[in-house]
Each structure stands twice: as C-alpha cells, then as structure tokens.
Amino acid sequence: MDDRPDKYPARPRERARRAANNESGEAESRISRLKRRQESRKEFAILNPRLDSRTETRSLVIFGVVLTALSAALAAALLTGIPGPDSNGRAVLSLALGLMAASALASGLTFLIRLRHLLLALVPAAAFAAAAAAALGLTPLESLAKIVFACAAGLWISLMLTSISQVLLIAVLIIAVDFYSVFFGPTKKMVESSGPWIDYLTVSLPVIAVDATSRLGIADFIFFSIFIGCALTFRLRRVLTSLAMAVSFVATMMIGVSLDIGVPALPLLSIFFVAVNADLLYRRFLQEPDSGKRDEKPEKNNR
C-alpha cells in the first residue's frame, strides 16, 4: 500500500471510496474512474457536437431550393421588368440572393467542426489567404477566405462553450453590443471615416442586375457559425437554425433598404436563433445542474 500523500486532496466521499477499495484490495485505475464519471454525468452535459451527414445534406438541399426560387424570381423580374430596375423590390431580390448564397456557404462549412482544435490552424491560414487575395484584387477569393476564417473561428468558439447558460448570455449580449457599435460605437466611426477598415472587416457579397453593394461583417458570420456549432453540441434544431439565421440576414437587409440606414445584423440573428430553439433551450437549461452539484446528483439517483 502506498503511504505517500496524494498530490491533489480528494473530497470526503472520494476518500471514503478510495479507502473502501484499498481495504478490499481493489485498485481503481484512472481510466476506469474517468469512464465512471463520464457515464454518471451523461444525462447532464452534452458536450460533443454531433454532425449527421443526412442532416447536413438536408440543409444543403433546402438552401438550394431557396436559392433556386430567388434566382427564378430575379430572372422573372429581369425578363418582365416588374418590379422596375429602380425599385426596391428588385434590389431586395438581388441582395437576398447574395445573402442566402453566403449563408448557404457558411452553413455548408459546418463539417469543419470535425477538426476541433485544428480549427486554430485554419483561422490564420484563412486570414493569410484573404489578405493575399485582397492584395491581388481577387474580391471573390477574398470573400471566400473571409467566410472560411469566420466559420473556423466561430465553430472553435462554439466548442469552448460548455453550458446553455453561456449560449444564452452570448445571445443577449451581442444584441446590445451590436446596437451600440453600429449606432454609437466603432462601426459607426469606421463608416463615417470611409477608411479601409470597413473593407478589411466585412465580406463583399455578390449583387446581380442592380447598382448596389452588399456587405456583411465578418463578426456576423462568426456568430452565425457559433450558433450552428451550439445547435450541434446541444442537440438543437440544426437545419431550422441555419435557415432562420439566414432569413434574419435578409430581414435585416430589408429593414435597412426600407429605412435607408445601416442596421446591425446580430440582433435579429440572435432573436431568430433563440426563437426557433426556445423550447429546447429551456429544457437544456433545466437539465443543467449547479456546478457544485454535478457530482452529487448522479449518486443520489443511484441510491
């Protein structure tokens, strides 16, 4: 029997269990102890993202149908002249097509979550690719690299979130932060100064048949991917989440076009995410134990 003191003091209940094992001559290995704890906590924590190929395929198919419908509507508008070339209706159709295409791409990159911590290597690689494309004047490649950068960063951040409480806190905070940034803070100052930072921190989206520009912040794509990653980790509605958040981008754009002002995208993104998962978020929140009771509840249930 080893009389050396433990490097890490054990809890009273753990010390009693160890003493019982030592008296009976049974030594529990570290691996078996970890397995036992994982089994006892399985009902309280869902921390491994589940990427289902059928779900991902269904998501891509739905986005494909939406993009086809928008493309058909825009083509009809161009052929018939209704709505007219100077109307907001045609601009909305064109901008919505670009936003949905970018959202479909970001949603399709969700498979990158399999890389887990290797995502940290993809983030600087995508940033370098975006900088190189910008220097060469290759705007489409620059936008693609920025979306990959944002998705990799967002998915990695989602892996670091361990509770629904954290997810809900982020969902609430980004509403206030984005409102402040766009109307009073750094985003407002960058837009007014017309400096190069706007180009660096936004993604240029495709626009067809109208004289307009469409940009979405890299941060918007980061939080888009964070919420999709959370949908996988906490078993929320993966397909509906991505589609609802894409629709939130379109709704934000429509508000901006109708009011002729810049509108923050994250508030509606957060609201739509919570709205389509409200019941599941509530259940997951109730299933989470207090931090001090994570080890006690499984034992009580086994008595």
Query: How confident is the model over 181-190, as pLDDT tens digits?
Result: 999 999 888 8
244 has pLDDT over 60: yes
Same domain for 246 and 103: yes
Same domain for 297 and 157: no
CA within 13 Å, CB half, 140: 5
* pLDDT category of residue 24 using cuts at 50, 70 and 90: very low
User: Taking residues 244-265, what's their average pLDDT?
Assistant: 93
* Greater model confidence, 18 or 78: 78
Give the model's pLDDT for residue 282: 94
Q: Is the peptide bond before 124 cis (omega within 30 degrees of 0)?
A: no
Same domain for 208 and 140: yes
Which of 36-45, 62-71, 264-273 is predicted least confidently? 36-45
* pLDDT category of residue 85 using cuts at 50, 70 and 90: confident
Choose among 104, 78, 80, 103: nearest CA to 91.
Answer: 78
Same domain for 251 and 111: yes
| Number of domains present in the structure of the chain | 2
23 has pLDDT over 70: no
Give the model's pLDDT for residue 26: 45
Which of 43-47, 77-81, 139-143, 263-267 is predicted least confidently? 43-47
Give the model's pLDDT for residue 293: 46
Whether 231 is in a domain gets the answer yes
How many other CB atoms are found less than 10 A from the CB of residue 6? Answer: 10
Choose among 124, 102, 120: nearest CA to 112.
Answer: 120
Give the model's pLDDT for residue 292: 42
Q: Provide the domain limits for residue 295.
A: 12-45+289-301
User: Taking residues 278-301, what's their average pLDDT?
Assistant: 68
User: Taking residues 49-74, what's their average pLDDT?
Assistant: 94
Same domain for 243 and 112: yes
Whether 5 is in a domain gets the answer no
Whether 3 is in a domain gets the answer no
User: Taking residues 273-291, what's their average pLDDT?
Assistant: 88
Q: Ranked by mean pLDDT, which of 17-21, 84-88, 128-132, 287-291 comes out on top?
A: 128-132
2: left (phi over 0), alpha (psi -120 to 50) or beta: beta
Same domain for 86 and 39: no
* Greater model confidence, 80 or 1: 80
Query: How confident is the model over 114-137, as pLDDT tens digits?
Result: 999 999 999 999 999 999 999 999
52 has pLDDT over 70: yes
Whether 7 is in a domain gets the answer no
User: Taking residues 236-244, what's their average pLDDT?
Assistant: 96
Same domain for 200 and 135: yes
Whether 216 is in a domain gets the answer yes
Q: Which residues contact 236 (CB under 8 A, 6 or more apart)?
A: 230, 277, 280, 281
27 has pLDDT over 70: no
Same domain for 60 and 31: no
Whether 150 is in a domain gets the answer yes
Same domain for 208 and 251: yes
With pLDDT > 70 as the criterion, what percentage of the chain qualifies?
80
Give the model's pLDDT for residue 165: 93
Same domain for 99 and 83: yes
User: Taking residues 147-166, what's their average pLDDT?
Assistant: 95
Whether 2 is in a domain gets the answer no
Same domain for 129 and 39: no
Give the model's pLDDT for residue 272: 98
Give the model's pLDDT for residue 47: 67
Same domain for 26 and 128: no
Whether 219 is in a domain gets the answer yes
